[in-house]
């Protein structure tokens, strides 16, 4: 949930807030927690006190529900400044190509829980660059996404771009562009052979219902599918992204 007047975002969920407290305590502006969670946030409370910021034990968990607009707060809510997501520029792509970065780009992934699950997997595998589009049907960095990421947000850099096809065109000739498509001829087992030695790589994951846009498919160097029995057409996008992230991490 975003507090538009204060330009804040509520981060809730024990794992998410604890990772935030351990790795980026400076981002916390206000902290609220139940007695059960108090013992885990002593160092953060000391820092907040030194910085004259608010922290408070709450007796009624419904107060946390109101702050986060979620029943899944798990006894703690941290308020942070609304995240500013940097925009991908041509210079960004050049830098990724030079450093042979592994990048995961989302083409209108609309469910915040899916976005959070993808970030969690990216953090787990050490793939630190994630790009989301600015289109209306793209999920944002919301309270739900932060909670489902289970701390993964602290280990990735999220970027924004006008659209995934725009990024694909910017990466042309600089990075290998691979699109996840359940109708593709190439299989996931072909992934490593499709990645040119010495190139940066960007993998595109599509919308939950429509997949990659036709324009994006046409812009990719390769399309790759995850083979199954055929009884179910495809995996959930977050599950599919986890398999691609594993491949990226092990190149």
* 51-89 pLDDT tens trace: 999 999 999 999 999 999 999 999 999 999 999 999 999
Question: What architecture is the 90-249 domain classified under in CATH?
Answer: 3-Layer(aba) Sandwich (3.40)
Q: CATH 3.30.1330.30 occupies which residues in the chain?
A: 2-81
Assess whether pLDDT exceeds 70 at residue 4. Answer: no
Give the pLDDT band (50/70/90) at residue 110.
very high
Contacts 24+ apart (CB under 8 A), 59-64: 59/34, 59/35, 61/34, 63/32, 64/12, 64/32, 64/33, 64/34
Give per-residue pLDDT as tens, 135-185: 999 999 999 999 999 999 999 999 999 999 999 999 999 999 999 999 999
Class of domain 2-81: alpha beta
Taking a C-beta distance cutoff of 8 angstroms, is the pair 241, 205 a contact? yes
Rounded-to-integer distance, Cα 46 and Cα 7, Å: 24
% the chain with pLDDT above 90? 93
Read off the pLDDT of each residue in 28-39 and give the average, rounded to a whole number: 97
CB 180 within 8 A of CB 206: yes
Q: Is the pLDDT of residue 198 over 90?
A: no
- What's 18's DSSP letter? H
Instruction: State residue 182's pLDDT score.
Output: 93
Instruction: Name the segment(s) of the chain with CATH classification 3.40.1280.10.
Output: 90-249
Mean pLDDT of the chain: 95
Average pLDDT of span 206-233: 94
- What pLDDT is recorded for position 137? 92
Give the pLDDT band of residue 2 (cuts 50, 70, 90).
low
């Amino acid at each position: 949930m975003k507090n538009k007047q204060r330009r804040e975002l509520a981060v809730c969920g024990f794992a998410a807030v604890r990772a935030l407290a351990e790795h980026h305590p400076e981002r916390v502006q206000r902290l609220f927690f139940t007695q059960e969670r108090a013992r885990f946030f002593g160092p953060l409370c000391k820092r907040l006190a030194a910085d004259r910021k608010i922290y408070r034990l709450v007796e009624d968990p419904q107060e946390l529900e109101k702050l986060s607009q979620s029943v899944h707060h798990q006894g703690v809510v941290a308020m942070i400044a609304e995240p500013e997501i940097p925009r991908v520029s041509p210079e960004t792509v050049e830098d990724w190509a030079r450093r042979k970065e592994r990048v995961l780009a989302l083409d209108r992934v609309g469910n915040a829980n899916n976005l959070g699950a993808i970030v969690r997997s990216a953090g787990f595998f050490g793939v630190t660059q994630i790009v989301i589009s600015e289109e209306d049907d793209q999920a944002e960095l919301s309270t739900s996404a932060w909670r489902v990421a289970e701390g993964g947000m602290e280990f990735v850099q999220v970027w924004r771009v006008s659209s995934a096809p725009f990024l694909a065109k910017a990466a042309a000739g600089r990075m290998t562009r691979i699109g996840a498509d359940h109708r593709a001829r190439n299989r996931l087992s072909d992934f490593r052979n499709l990645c040119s030695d010495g190139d940066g790589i960007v993998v595109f994951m599509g919308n939950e219902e429509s997949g990659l846009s036709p324009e994006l498919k046409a812009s990719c160097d390769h399309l790759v599918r995850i083979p199954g029995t055929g009884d179910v057409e495809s995996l959930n996008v977050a599950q599919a992204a986890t398999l691609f992230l594993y491949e990226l991490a092990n190149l």
